[in-house]
Amino acid sequence: MMTFVSHCLRSVLCSVACLSALAYGGQSNAAAEEPSSILLENVRVFDGKSPRVSSPTNVLIVGPLIKSISSTALSESDGSVTRIDGGGRVLMPGLIDAHWHSMFLATTPLVGLTSDVGYLNLLAAEQAKATLMRGFTTVRDLGGPAFSLKQATDEGVVPGPRIYPSGAMITVTSGHGDFRMMYELPRVIGGQLTRTEQIGASAVTDTPDEVRIRVREQLMQGATQIKLTAGGGVSSPHSPLDVSTFTLPELRAAVEAAENWGTYVAVHAYTSRAVRTALDAGVKCIEHGHLVDEATAKLMAEKQVWWSLQPFVFDEATNPFSEGSQEAAKKKEVAEGTDRAYALAKKYKIKTAWGSDILFSPILAKGQNAMLTRMVRWYTPAEVLIMATSTNAQLLTMSGKRNPYPGKLGVVEEGAYADLLLVDGNPLENIELIDDPTKNLVVIIKNGAIAKNSLTPAGRTSP
Domain boundaries, the chain: 37-92+410-453, 95-378
Residue 327: is it exposed, middle or buried by C-beta count within 10 angstroms (0-12/13-18/19+)?
middle
Which range (58-62, 202-206, 211-215, 264-268) has the least confidence? 202-206
HSE-CB of 446 using CA atoms within 13 angstroms? 27
pLDDT bucket at 340, cuts 50 / 70 / 90: very high
Count of helices and strands (H, E) across the chain: 16, 18
Average pLDDT of span 75-95? 87
Question: Does an H or E element contain 372, and which?
Answer: helix 368-373
* CA angle centred on 304, ends 410 and 310, rounded to 5°: 55
Of 173, 169, 117, the residue nearest 357 (C-alpha)? 169
Predicted pLDDT at 26 = 37
Residue 278: is it exposed, middle or buried by C-beta count within 10 angstroms (0-12/13-18/19+)?
buried
Contact indicator for 331, 314 with CB cutoff of 8 Å? yes
pLDDT bucket at 33, cuts 50 / 70 / 90: low
**Alpha carbon 451 to chain centroid distance?**
19
Is the pLDDT at 315 greater than 80, yes or no?
Answer: no
* Gap between the Cα atoms of 373 and 349, Å rounded: 21
Tens digits of per-residue pLDDT, 155-178? 999 999 999 999 999 999 888 878
Contact indicator for 48, 67 with CB cutoff of 8 Å? no
pLDDT top residue among 375 and 313: 375
Which residues on adjacent β-strands are paired with residue 169? 202
Instruction: Give every CB contact of residue 25 below 8 A, 6+ residues apart in sequence.
Output: none
Tens digits of per-residue pLDDT, 185-230? 777 777 778 888 888 888 999 999 999 999 999 999 999 999 999 9
Average pLDDT of span 23-35? 44
pLDDT bucket at 184, cuts 50 / 70 / 90: confident
Is the pLDDT at 462 greater than 70, yes or no?
Answer: no
Predicted pLDDT at 114 = 80
* Gap between the Cα atoms of 284 and 351, Å rounded: 11
Predicted pLDDT at 424 = 98
Average pLDDT of span 279-291? 97
pLDDT top residue among 10 and 224: 224
Is the pLDDT at 20 greater than 90, yes or no?
Answer: no
Q: Chain-wide mean pLDDT for the chain?
A: 88
Determine what percent of the chain is predicted with pLDDT higher than 70. 87
pLDDT bucket at 460, cuts 50 / 70 / 90: low
Contact indicator for 148, 125 with CB cutoff of 8 Å? no
Which range (18-27, 151-160, 185-194, 340-349) has the least confidence? 18-27
The CATH fold assigned to 95-378 is: TIM Barrel (3.20.20)
Determine what percent of the chain is predicted with pLDDT higher than 90. 69
* Gap between the Cα atoms of 169 and 203, Å rounded: 6
Q: Break the chain down into helix, strand, coil percent, rounded to 5.
A: 40, 20, 40
Of 114, 156, 117, 107, the residue nearest 359 (C-alpha)? 107
Predicted pLDDT at 216 = 98
37-92+410-453: CATH, from 3.90.76.10, 1.20.1250.20, 1.20.120.1200, 2.30.40.10: 2.30.40.10
Helix residue spans in 88-139 (DSSP H)? 109-114, 117-133
